[in-house]
Structure 1
């Protein structure tokens, strides 16, 4: 009996199906001709041509369930308790030893580097199956945008992210990011605004360090939700405009608004 593999929405697909069409369900007929043609289609970067048939159901988010369940697992959202940015005791036999902020920071940075390195494996798997679009995990570098314990990526991750960007460019893929629902430039709370700007700066630095060619950089966007209307849509839009004006030009260059917000 073929081994069952997890897919999105709790559905399964057989090992035979993964060998042909990674998105096909177990009881679904695989169109071998479409699978053969998929890798040769033009990349969706800066193009009006939609390279994938509309009937295909692609999960373009940051988790590949097939690779996540491999051994060793391949994924890009390793994280830890925020206390680990202040101390990391796993290598220590004696927990009574004092906290070491430098050791904790190194531990968190190494998690981020492991996440980034795994992106390359995920990209190459996607390319094998004709999937040329990927959303990068906002959690790739744990707590990097945190107001109190945040950190810059360029100091330790520039080389690794440039390596990822080189593979993306080589394969002709498109990558995006999607900051979480708490990143809201129209909020009425100053603390939320400050955190939102910090979070956008983090995502922008991550994208910028990929060192894409101009066309791919233009398509590597941060997709932002407007969020709620806070009982006054006009005032919310006014705050969004005011706070948008405060953003760096690099953030503005990468920022787009979610197109299915209904408020």
Structure 2
């Protein structure tokens, strides 16, 4: 089983992608951005590997204007070396990647220009995954599209346009149930009729159900029948709904106990998490299913979370420290439950100052007099309300970079806003 997250990292230093406006999309600028983004992807793959995250969705924006006539660069040839380097890492670490075009890539639109652009976008995604030397198991996920007042006609239009796609696009394309127009019953029928693998989304099925008498296991099993050996292991999308938000909104983090119960109820599949804290929840789930269930896994996580927990809830900070004293245990569910509870607690000025004091301790012996005065000034401004906590954290982050303090750079505290 491979579990992963989508596109961006949270709390990981030096992993931000770049883009540009149409006005500034000169060939020279695009070359610079593509180089930066591929280097960033390379670092993210290294990070995923170090965290035992074996599934990753690559952002569609990694090549700026990748499907637009604005970008005429032969980027897959120009950056062949970079693509090959990443490809070798993916193969060595057995990391499965995928892509998911956005809401404007609509194959069943009655507007021919929109369909034309959708096909161009699918060709771009296929070109990128091919440049990465990935097998057909690296998929491109697509929704069916709109209804346009006549669902049957819209489905027929999707099927007609799908039939016209090149075989290399068809080899990668899979279709997903959505939360507005096409429930899992619709998508399964389209998948069977056109030999397209179906990816089941559990939250979409909750919001737009097909048959409420059937559970996730039932629909995952039906979707499995649309997958061939060449398509790789069946994959699904998993998310939990956000409380007090629009139906279908993704939660901030994965409740690990709920996810654990879900895992025990379904067949063995690859899972893409759709959640706001992205890699953080992926690490949670990796630790849940890890065969190496040693306390050191949780201790390493604690090193990343501890100052954030201290900032939010010092009482739970102490509880977690006590929990981790048993070196023979592996209280993964309780550990993450306490962390989630702590982070959900609104910090006070006192707890924020306490955490800042602990982190500043790493610079007491190395900071210059000028840096000490600047920190004191920022701290006083925070107390007066003229500077935010993020301004003070930003200063500490710059110092962590300057002094190459890996412990703080890998801590979530300086990156959480």
2:172 corresponds in structure 1 to 254
Alignment pair present for 1:110 and 2:32: yes
Deviation at 1:148, TM superposition (A): 4.7
The answer as to 2:107 corresponding to 1:168 is no
Is the 8 Å Cα contact of residues 2 and 55 (structure 2) preserved in structure 1?
A: no
Instruction: Give the structure 2 partner of residue 231 of structure 1.
Output: 149
Aligned length: 181
Which runs of 5 or more structure 1 residues have no equivalent in the other structure? 1-49, 53-57, 86-103
Matched, 1:221 2:221: no
Q: Which moved more, 1:112-121 or 1:195-204?
A: 112-121
Cα RMSD, aligned residues only: 1.7
Contact 1:225 1:257 survives alignment (8 Å): yes
Q: Matched residues in 1 for 2:159 and 2:80: separation?
A: 32
> Are the aligned partners of 2:27 and 2:71 in contact in 1 as well (CA < 8 Å)?
no
Cα displacement (A) at 1:64? 0.6
Residue pairs, 1:138-153, within 5 angstroms:
138-149=60-71, 151-153=73-75
Secondary structure of the equivalent of 1:130?
A: coil
Kindly state the Cα deviation for residue 51 of structure 1 after the two structures are TM-superposed: 5.2
Who is 1:126 aligned against? 48
Q: Are the aligned partners of 2:99 and 2:140 in contact in 1 as well (CA < 8 Å)? A: yes
Among 158, 166, 173, the alignment partner of 1:240 is 158
What's the CA shift string for 1:199-250, capped at 9, x where partnerless?
Answer: 00100000001113xxxx1220000111211111111111111111221111
2:130 aligned residue: 208
When Rg is computed on C-alpha atoms for both structures, the one with the higher figure is 2
> Structure 2: where are the runs of 5+ without partners?
182-417
Q: Work out whether residues 54 and 96 of structure 2, in 8 Å CA contact, stay in contact via their aligned partners in 1.
A: yes
In the alignment, what sits opposite 2:104? 182
Match for residue 74 of structure 1 among 11, 15, 20:
15
- In the alignment, what sits opposite 2:118? 196
Inter-partner Cα distance in structure 2 for 1:74 and 1:253: 30
- Out of 156, 180, 183, the position equivalent to 2:78 is 156
Distance 1:51 1:250, change over 3 A: closer
* Distance in 2, Cα, partners of 1:222 & 1:208: 12
Partner of 2:412: none
Higher helix share: 2
Q: CA separation of 1:126/1:154 partners in 2, compared to 1, >3 Å: closer, same or farther?
A: closer
Give 1:259 shift: 3.6
